[in-house]
Structures are given as structure tokens and as C-alpha cells.
């Protein structure tokens, strides 16, 4: 199994728009071969901010894939290319961490 933690920071004030676009694309990703989990998360409400908080412009995508090949196919899927084009003006930065269990 492959785990992905994608830290995505929107341009200031654009996180809601970016999350809406993520939600529109999510069903297509979940339908991909090997996709086990694909969901967006934000800092938990009611927790005091800390050095580890992501803040108002960032969200984290938690993904699980059956194999590395499935993840690689996801990266080049037509709907992902279209999503990237649609959202590129909203994104400040992306940090993609690809991990495997020990």
C-alpha cells in the first residue's frame, strides 16, 4: 500500500474555491483503479493554533493507493490534468509526500 500526504496551500483567501474544485474531482479519483482513500482535511476546529497548524489557506489531502503503479497512473489521468489546469491560478504551493508502511 502507498500513502500520500499532499499539503496544498491556496493563494490567500482562495482555499474555499480550491476545496470546491477538489470536491468536484473527488468522485473521478475514487473511481480510479487502486484508490482506497482520497479526502481533504483542514485544521481541527476548537484546537488552539500552534506551530504545527496549517492555517486558513492550507488543506491536506490524505490518500491511500493499493500500489505505486496505481498512484503513478493517477498522476497522469486526464481528469487530474484537467483539474490541474482548472486550479493552477488558485494554488500557491503543493508539497506531496509519498510514503509506505514499515
Domains identified in the chain and CATH numbers: 2-44+53-99 (3.30.70.100)
pLDDT in 10s for each residue of the chain, 102 residues: 999 999 999 999 999 999 999 999 999 999 999 999 999 999 999 999 999 999 999 999 999 999 999 999 999 999 999 999 999 999 999 999 999 999
Largest CA distance in the chain: 40
Q: What are phi and psi of 51, to 5 degrees?
A: -60, -25
Whether 65 contacts 74, CB under 8 Å? yes
pTM for this model (two decimals): 0.94
Buried b (16+ CB within 10 A) or exposed e, 51-83: eeebeebbbbbebbbeeeebbebbeeeeebeeb
Amino acid at each position: 500500500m502507498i500513502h500520500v500526504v499532499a499539503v496544498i496551500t491556496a493563494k490567500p483567501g482562495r482555499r474555499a474555491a480550491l476545496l470546491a474544485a477538489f470536491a468536484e474531482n473527488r468522485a473521478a479519483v475514487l473511481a480510479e483503479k487502486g484508490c482506497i482513500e482520497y479526502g481533504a482535511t483542514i485544521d481541527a476546529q476548537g484546537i488552539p493554533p500552534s506551530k504545527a497548524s496549517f492555517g486558513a489557506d492550507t488543506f491536506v489531502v490524505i490518500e491511500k493507493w493499493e500500489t505505486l503503479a496505481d498512484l503513478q497512473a493517477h498522476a497522469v489521468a486526464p481528469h487530474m490534468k484537467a483539474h490541474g489546469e482548472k486550479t493552477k491560478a488558485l494554488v500557491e504551493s503543493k508539497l506531496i509526500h509519498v510514503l509506505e508502511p514499515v
